[in-house]
Amino acid sequence: MEKKRIMIVDDEAGLTRLVRLSLEGTGKYEVREENDAMQALASALEFRPDLILLDVVMPDIDGGDVAAQLRKSGPLTQVPIVFLTAIVSRREASTQDDIGGYPFLSKPVALDALVKCIEDHTAAR
């Protein structure tokens, strides 16, 4: 079975490294870390991920803008994007799966929740 390709865009290198180690440790994923949001588009075009985890609050450019770029890029128009966000209230965490229609995960996130979210939003291989 082919491994799904996951790209994580977040300025926290410690976090992205752990995401990569955790996901690749399951044997089901191949993960690309991108800590510079300005490079996210180029990286994505090269890596061609099956799903992108996107931090919202980043220096220089926020997740929403990165997502907009990705959506206009032709080959990546259809790739599922999941936001990782720190700014979520108790109410939102309990009652919502999306912000403005986009799926999100609130930090901190447990590995099994992360895996479930990835599987929910990508096609089976």
Among 7, 15, 79, 117, binds another protein (CB under 8 A): 15
C-alpha triplet 91, 60, 29: angle, nearest 5°:
65
Residue 93 binding another protein, by CB under 8 A: yes
Number of residues interacting with another protein: please give it, by CB under 8 A.
44
Residue 41 binding another protein, by CB under 8 A: no
Among 9, 37, 67, 82, binds another protein (CB under 8 A): 67
Residue 111 binding another protein, by CB under 8 A: yes
User: Residue 122, Cβ neighbours under 10 Å: how many?
Assistant: 18
Residue 6 binding another protein, by CB under 8 A: no
For the bound state, the minimum distance from the C-beta of residue 32 to another protein, rounded and expressed in Å, comes to: 17
Do residues 42 and 70 make contact, with C-beta atoms less than 8 angstroms apart? no
Tokens 């128009």 sit on residue: 77
Question: Would you give the DSSP letter of residue 52?
Answer: E
Residue 31 binding another protein, by CB under 8 A: no
Do residues 4 and 27 make contact, with C-beta atoms less than 8 angstroms apart? no
